[in-house]
Structure formats: structure tokens, C-alpha cells
Structure 1
Amino acid sequence: MNKIILNTLLAFGITTTAQAQMQKADQIFLNGKIFTVDEAFSKAEAFAVKDGKFVGVGTKAEIQGAFQADEVTDLEGKFVYPGFIDSHAHFYRYGTGLQVADLVGSKTFEELLERVQRHRETHPQQEWLLGRGWDQNLWPDKSFPSKEKLDELFPDTPVLLTRVDGHAALANQKALDIGGVDASTEILGGKVILKDGQPTGTLIDNAIGLVSKNIPDATEEESREALKAAQENCFEVGLTTVVDAGLDRSTIELLHDMHQDGSLKMRVYAMVNPTEENRKHYFEKGTFQDDHLTVRSFKIYGDGALGSRGAALLEPYHDDPHEQGFLLNTPEEFEKLAFEMHENGFQMNTHCIGDSANRTLLDIYAKVLKTENDLRWRIEHAQIVSREDIGKFAKYSVIPSVQPTHATSDMYWAEDRLGPDRIKTAYTFQDLLDQNGKLALGSDFPVEFINPLYGFHSAVARRDANNWPEEGFQMDNKISREDAMRGMTIWGAFANFEEDYKGSIEVGKLADFVILNEDLMEAPEESLRELIIQETYIGGQRVFERK
């Protein structure tokens, strides 16, 4: 990209009245095809940045006539969008997960074992052998795994391998022993899978914590390195704000410290884990918001995941009539939390996959919110919502925070779980959008890939990475490209109470933007996942450039 140091007329000692009246900017960007994502979804050719904010947006002539800067960038016709916002992710967990065995895409249990063994060879010093990303739905028999092979390979090393959605895990006997898990173990909101009366090693939802709580905490230095590694990968795909869904006070305070010392530039909207300690601290402290960090919500888990049959359904699973899933807490406890959130001025953002979980939490929201409002409580995922319940999003101004790639990852087996009628009430993004005119779009990484363009493609084409199925999946619920772009920019900012200073390219807002060679609004659907981020800027500072 051409950098021009402007001396122009001043180089010749000539000063005009017009120049004297021009505003001084830090940077000017010209000759772009800029999608502002303002209320009119208008386009611009140029903008000026000063002190990390947009101070002018308009035509090339307007910006050149009103501003001068020492640094001017010729965008050379490239396409510019507001910085992308991932409205539901696990940023810190993604960073720490870069140091565990990568099991994503394992096509058989034997491949999983090979990956675990390779990881152990390269990380022999790790006290626990951890991995993440397996999905039994990709395996020939689609059955949950069992621990016998892990026991043979690692009899003296505790092993915990988490499913791709984080709602199931496989532990070896050493890890089960450390967690005190046996055939008699029972826990609210969780399950220990048994075979012939003995644990198989597969743990569902809250049962995982019995083992995982024994894993040593990362040191501060390890946590810092994890966050820096995560942000570099996010910048490369155009993310400038991430919503981290479920953090403890210590991690939130580390984020703030790293923002203050400049080692972390990624903007973060942090949902707090609702432990008693966290609630006491943040209810006393109150909400917090600056340019880099927002803390004004709690992440509640309503139920588990569809893939592990932990999602709470109104009727039994189509492929397992003895299973209906379960809530991860009692309705009474959810209601208690809801009133606490309301009383203390925090958003309640609840993970709800199954139609029973969505009904239970929407009805609890109704008791507290009573009518339309601007409190912006959210349902995270809103994956299966019965026809009788979807109108409650509008009635109580609840924001659906959805992940488009969940639809295209689950479509191969979701109908097996739900049956031919109930599947039609799942992943209904357009129906949810129709309720309040807004959707917050995210990925749920590391459950899915971090690239927001994958979500954009899934939202508008309803096809997978191979552009299958050709006709798309439940196309009545695809959304338009404009709405998908709003969902990953301004609507994401709105869901975070951040729309006044991010989410669009407008005067007064933070200068977060991304530059692409191709137009997301016009590129063929089949190529959307392949488009390349050229540069990413946060506050006018370039944080990524493709070499």
C-alpha cells in the first residue's frame, strides 16, 4: 500500500486560508470502497483518523478538503469494513487450548489416539495430558468413546480430552481417580456414562468439573502468552472485538492489566462466570466499560449441547427415546440469578440449546423483564426454539446471539437428534432476526473456527466449507449479506452496549476496520470462505498486515 508523506504546497512555502482552516489528522485513507455499516448502510471513499477515532468520513474530495495529515494511505480501490466482532467466543480458552492436543477433525477414535500420543511426545513435561476437539459424530459408529486404550497408553498420567463443544469429555482412569469419580457418582446437571455398571470415562457437562478442577492453574506468564497468541490469530482474520463467554475475576483483571500496559490490544466484552465469589465482587464493584474492556454481564449455562445429547428438549431425542437432556441447574436457581442480575444492573446472557432450555429461560426472563425494555438480556445460541416460544424474544426485547457455523456443522446429524418436524425449529436465524430486527453473530471458537468469514458464508449460503448441500440447509432461514455484516459489526456492538463507539465507520467512533481485496457483498457465495483479510486496524493502528 502506498504511503505518501504530505508536504504539498507547504513544501514550497505557500500557505492558503483554506489550509489554515483544515483540521489536522493523524492519518488519511483515500480511494477505498468503504462500507460504513451506518444506519443507511452507506458507502464512502475516504476517512480521516485522529487519536484513534474516525474524525471524518466521506468522499475523497470531502476528506482532502477538510483534513491534512502527515500520513496518507492510498487504499487502491480495496474494500473496507468495520472491525469484525465475534459475539460469542472463548478467547482465553482458545489461547490456552493452543498448548493442548488438537483433536478437531479426527475421523476415527484411532486417529484421536495417534494425535494424543504425538502431543505427548512433544510436550513430555506437562503434568496432565489435555486435548480438545473430538466429535464422535465424525466417527463410523458415532458412539461415545471409552477409556481402555487411554488406560493402556497412559496408566500413570491423568488424561482429559474435551469434546469439540466443551460439553463432554473423555478421562482415563488416573484422571477419574483424582476426581473421585466412580460408578456411584451423581451430580446435578451432569452425567457419568456407564457400561456394564462401570464408568466408560465419558463425562457429560457438570461431571467434567469433578475432574477438570484438579488441573493446575496456568501461571500468569502462561496466561499472558496464551492471550497474546490468541489475539494474533484473531487479528489475522479481521477480529477487533471478541466476546469472551465466561471468565473469572482473575482473568478479567489480567485482561485489564494487559490493556493498560499495551501488551493486549484486542477489545474484549467479558461475560463473568456466576460463581458466588464473582457475583459478590462485581455486584459490589458495578459494571465497567472503557475503550478496550466491557464488564456488565454474566454467562449462565442453561443446558448442554445437542451433539452430546445434553441439550434439554421438550420431548425425547428422536434417536434416543430414553434421553431428553437436562438443565444444568434448577429453574429456581436460574430465577434467583435473574433477579440478582436485574437488581444489580447486569445483563443475563444464558446458554440455551434445547427447546426446553429456551422455554424455561425465556419464561424466567419474562418474570423479571415483564415487557419491552433496553436491558439487552441475551440468549446465547438460541439453537432450538419452539414455535410457541419464538415470539418471546420480541415481547421481552431479548437478543438472540447465534453462531451460523453451528448450523452447517450440525446439519449432517441434527435431524437424527430432533426428527423431521423439530429440526425446522432449529437454527432459525431469519425467524429470530424478525423478532427485534437484530442478531448478534459469533462463532463459539474454539468450538468452531475463529474466522468470521466462515460464519458470514454459513449465514448467507447455509452451506459447509465444501459448499454442500448445493441447495443449502433450511434456506428459509438464511439471512441477507447486509444483515450478516450488521450482525458481525453494529448489532454485535449493540448487544454489548458498545454501539456508541464501535461497530461502524462513523465520525466519533473508534477507528477499528479491516481491509479486503474482494467485496464481501458481491463475491460469489462459494468463494466467501476463501476471501483474504489484507490488513486489520485497531484505533487506527495496524495490528496485522498480510505479507
Structure 2
Amino acid sequence: MRLYRAHFLFLYKIIIEMKKILLVCLLSIAFISCNSEDKAEADLLVFNAEIYTVDDNFNTAEAFVTKDGRFLEIGNAEELQTKYNIAETLDAGGKSVFPGFIDGHAHFYGLGLQQQRVDLAGTKSFEEVVQRIVDFQNKRNVEFITGRGWDQNDWEKKEFPNKDTLDQLFPDTPIALTRIDGHALLANQAALDKAGITTRTSFSGGDIEQKNGELTGIIIDNPMGLVTNAQPAPSTKEQINALLDAQKLSFKYGLTTVVDAGIDKQTIELMDSLHKDGSLKIRLYAMISNTPENLDHYLDKDPIKTERLNVRSVKFYGDGALGSRGAALKEEYSDRAGHFGALLSPVEDFKETAERVAASKFQLNTHAIGDSANYMVLETYDKLLANDEDRRWRVEHAQVIDEEDFKYFSKNIIPSVQPTHATSDMYWAKDRLGEERVQGAYAYKKLLDEAGIIALGTDFPVEEVSPFLTFYAAVARQDTDNYPEDGFMKEQALSREETLKGMTIWAAYANFEEEEKGSIEAGKFADFIILDKDIMKVDKSEIPEIEVLETYVNGEKVY
């Protein structure tokens, strides 16, 4: 009887314990169920990363989550996992993560078209230029040969070439070869004939060069349009391929937004259509070219703004380029007596256009290289914007500034510069400008001190697409051979933090887009990149070789 009672008590205890365990399990299930129901949904968690948010405090973080193409929350991975139901996770493997880079001044469509033309960048002699043309034509056999990228300053004989060799090799095939800066071209006789250019052709704002009463084939600035207009227009298919090719290259280098500095209505509408069908995913800030047709179409309307396209600015060309001596200077060129460069439009025309833009909702962005052109632009901006504090008009390049004119820059008159111009031009800039005047050239630190912000870009295809070369040129002021040893005008270098801001949040500000991009913050577009090395920490000599591992736009992996 005692044995039976003992067994009964033992079984009773087991049943009680089992009930307790079952109750705990049921409570746990209920808690998990409730906890899961309480969690918000998220699309992507990126964790185990060194995230540079580029927020107001320049904070770093370890993880973030995204939802519907935007950053949802930035913080600690463990905390984010307990707070959200996450569809997908990405272990960054300890790599550095940055907001998608913004190229503050480039030629996106032009880059794409260049992929279908002769690439003359890096040529070390005119003979090499000719050989590339021959090789290209043997392969492509086009009816009108076009190319871009030559720079006589890189040759042993630092003089403009002439058309004689091209006339001999291609007497019946028109050829037009644009200089690296886009402000001069070499045309053979067949191209000149097709454009109707003779020694008696009239022009303004540039030059049609002659020697001994004969055309040399060199055309500078405005008259270049005669040759351009004589070229066959690209087909719609070629235009689409150009845009998609440019996108591919941009994503490879971590660019998620590109400012296209000067395009026409037809190209803008094609961009919009490709955005709508999903084939073009990159974000574009379009500056409309200053033509009567473009101004008449856009300025009386509101700016066009979608999530991927922003059309709210006018691009005006003030002068030419320093390399081709087309930049408008207050005093004569140090290496050419009596030569001052030239404005590309009369001062009255510029001021009339500026007043028209001021009366609209659009921004004015003016190409200005020489100190004379910069003064004209800055003085005009200052007067028109005196009572309008948030127009954010930009000076594109702001390359040579007279000491007394730096005062005009502010967050309302923004310098938009391309650091690789300094390291491309440093070999000969002093020859053009002289010892004293060059001190006000490529003065990025001084521009930043005056304006409070500075927008950085590449100007591709004038320079290479890589934003890492932009970053390197800004902080090191050297070429990739570490020349000069102490840096070119090193006092004008930017810090790494300043440079990163110039390629992200400040560039976004210059586009009126700082509330939606330029930093990794909740509510902004989930545009970010993962790099193989930390650009903020590696030795500066390693910066040009950094590679993008992955590029994301709207939280979608695009590279």
C-alpha cells in the first residue's frame, strides 16, 4: 500500500512538472507570436559594417535597415533584429559603407556617346592620335569619324596639331576630334567642307584658326557648333545605348546620382522614359543647355521632379578652357602676349539670361574658368540674389578667382569644382597664369572657407569617371605618381571629411536634394555603396585603387 502511494505521488509530481513546462512553452509561443506581430517590417538589414552616415555629427554606425527603397533606421544589428521582421540580411564583412556618391558636375550622356567614338585620352603624341583613328576606322568603318580626349599639353611638342596628316589619310571621310576639355576640336578638310567652314566664315566667342591664310583645322569654342551640326545625329537606339553604357560605368564607381551639365529637351525626355520603364535606375540632375528652345520650353513651367530625375537648372557657358587658352582673363596670358581668352556670349546676353532665370523657379549654373568670366558671373549673381537667400546658384569650375572676388561665394552662390582639373593642369597652369595669379586658381580650401560648402565632381569624360581620383586629388593634390612630392598648392587641399561631404551631402545641397539623399539617415533614399578599403583611413597612396564591391539604389543592388 505504501509502495502504491509512493508511485502515485511520483507520477503526480511528474504531471505537475509537465504542466508547468507546457505552460511555459505556451507562454513562450504566445510571447513570440505577440512579439512577432509587434515587429515592423523591413526589407534589408546591412550589418557588420563601418558605416559613415555623413549626418550632421558625422556619426558612424554598425548596421541599418531599409524599407520601400529608403533607410528605415540606423543603429545596432542586434537591436534592429529584435525590432524588425527583416526579409533579407547582408553581412558587410567589416567593410566600409558610404552614402552613394554624387558626381556634382559631369556629362553623363556625353560619356555614353564617347563609348561609341574614338577614345583619344592619354595619347602622348599626335602620331598616337592618328594611329588610334586608323585602328578605329579599320574596325568600325563609319561615315563620319568622331573622337575625344587629345591634349597637346601631354605631348612633347605642346602645340595644337593641324589637319594635314588627316587630309592625306582620309581625304573623303570627315573627321572631328574634340580636345579633352571639350573647348577645341581638330577637323580635317572633309569635315570643314561638310560644315561649310572657309577662311571667310564669320564667328564670335572663339576662333577658327588660320596660318598663312590657310585653315589649320583647329576650331575653338562657339564655331565648333558648325562642325557638330554637320555630324549625323545618333539614332534613338544609339542614344539609349549611350545612356545605359554611362549608367553601367557610373554604378561601377559607386555613383548613384550624376549631375549632367548641359543637355537638351529631347535627351531629358529620353532619360525620363527610360526611368519609367525601369532600364535606367541612376538618379540624374539635369542642367538644361542654354538655348532659346530649351529656355522657352522650361522656364515658364515648374521644375520637373521625380524620384530619379530632377530638372530645375540652366547651364550657361561663360568662357572657354584654360588648356586651350579660351578662358577669359582680366590680364593677358602669361605665355601669350596680347591674348586674354574670350567670353562665349556678350555680357548683356548673360545678364539678360540671368534675369530671366531669376524670374523663374530654376537655378542658374554658369561655367566660369578665367578670373574675368568669374567676376562677371559672381557680380551678376550677387546683384540678382541680394534679396533671395535660397536660390543656390552655382559657379561651375570656379577655376581662376581674383583675390578680391572670393568674397562673393556663399551657400547661395556655390562653388562647384572638379579636383582632378587641378592635378591635370598643374604641369602648365603657372605658365598660363604666372606666379601671382595662379595662387587664386584651384583654390578649393579657400572656396570652402568662403562658401561654407563645396560641391565636387569629375567633369567626365573630360576627366576619368572614378570618384576615387576626385577624392585623391582633393586631399593629396598629387597625380598618381605622387607628383609633386609636397602636393600642388597643398594649402588648398581638403580634409577627407570635407571631401566626402563634397561628394555626398554638399553635392545634394547644391541640387536642392539634401532632404532625400547625400547621407545615410532615416527617411532618405537607400542609396549606398560598399568599398573594399576604407577611404577615410587607408594611406592616401591607396585611394586611387579603391574598388566598389557593391552599389545600391533604392535598396536594390545595381552593381
Please, what TM-score do these two structures have when normalized by structure 1? 0.96
CA shift at 1:321, angstroms? 1.1
- 1:34 corresponding residue in structure 2: 51
CA contact (8 A) 1:28 1:68 kept: no
Q: Which residue in the other structure is 1:7 paired with?
A: none
Contact 2:457 2:467 in 1 (8 A): yes
Deviation at 1:322, TM superposition (A): 2.2
Residue among 131, 134, 151 paired with 2:167:
151
Gaps of 5+ in 1: 1-10
SS at 2:406 equivalent: coil
Counterpart of 1:389 in 2: which secondary structure?
helix
Report the CA distance shift for 1:215/1:12 in structure 2 as closer, same or farther (over 3 A).
Answer: farther
Provide the residue aligned with 1:369 in structure 2.
Answer: 385
Distance 1:286 1:372 in 2: 18
Q: Find 2:375's aligned residue among 355, 359, 362.
A: 359
Correspondence 1:416 to 2:392: no
Q: Report deviation, 1:185.
A: 2.2
Distance 2:558 2:82 in 1: 29
Equivalence for 2:250: 234
Amino acid at match of 1:403: Q
Q: Is 1:530 paired with 2:545?
A: yes
Farther off after superposition, 361-370 or 272-281: 361-370
- Alignment check: 8 A CA contact 2:417 2:454 kept: yes
Residue of structure 2 aligned with 1:136, choices 152, 157, 171? 152
Q: Which residue, 95, 104, 129 being the options, matches 2:112?
A: 95
Kindly state the Cα deviation for residue 286 of structure 1 after the two structures are TM-superposed. 2.1
Aligned to 2:490: 475
Cα shift at 1:88: 0.3
**CA deviation vs aligned residue, 1:214-264 (integer Å, no higher than 9, x gap):** 111111111111111110111011000000000100000000000000010
Paired amino acid for 2:74: V
- Residues 81-480 of structure 1: pairs in structure 2 closer than 5 A: 81-124=98-141, 126-370=142-386, 373-394=389-410, 397-480=412-495
State the alpha-carbon separation in 2 of the partners of residues 28 and 367 from structure 1: 49
Runs of 4 or more, structure 1, over 6 Å off, are 11-14
| Amino acid in the other structure paired with 1:51 | D
Deviation (angstroms), 1:494: 0.5
| Residue type at the aligned position of 2:558 | V
Give how far 1:200 is off: 0.2
Shift of 1:372: 6.5
Deviation at 1:453, TM superposition (A): 0.6
d(CA) in 2 for partners of 1:13, 1:227: 54
Letter in 1 for 2:92: L
**Whole-angstrom CA distance in 1 between matches of 2:280 and 2:147:** 26
Q: CA deviation at 1:93?
A: 0.5
Offset of residue 153 of structure 1: 0.7
Kept in 1, the 8 Å contact 2:415–2:451? The answer is no
Q: Residue 83 of structure 1 contacts residue 536 of structure 1 at CA under 8 Å; is this kept in 2?
A: yes
Equivalent in the alignment of 2:8: none
Equivalent position SS for 1:337: helix
CA deviations 1:334-356 (Å, max 9, x no partner) are: 00000110111110000000000
Deviations 1:448-501 (A, max 9, x none): 000001000000000111121111000110000001000000001000011111
What one-letter code is carried by the residue in structure 1 that aligns with 2:69? Answer: G
Contact 1:298 1:346 in 2 (8 A): yes
Name the residue aligned to 1:51.
Answer: 68
Percent identity, aligned pairs only, is: 50
Deviation at 1:12, TM superposition (A): 8.6
Name stretches of at least 5 consecutive residues in structure 2 with no aligned partner: 1-27
| SS of the residue 2:558 aligns to | strand
Amino acid at match of 1:86: D
Q: 1:488 aligns to what?
A: 503
Structure 2 CA distance for aligned equivalents of residues 406 and 66 of structure 1: 48
Give the structure with higher Rg (CA): 2
Amino acid at match of 2:245: A
Q: Deviation of residue 16 (structure 1)? A: 4.3
Structure 1 position 13, deviation (Å)? 9.1
Matched, 1:506 2:506: no
Distance 2:412 2:276 in 1: 35
> Which letter does structure 2 place at the counterpart of 1:33?
E
Q: Tell me the equivalent position of 1:543.
A: 558
CA distance in 2, matches of 1:459, 1:274: 30
Distance 2:94 2:184 in 1: 47
Is the contact between residue 327 and residue 370 of structure 2 (CA under 8 Å) also seen in structure 1?
yes
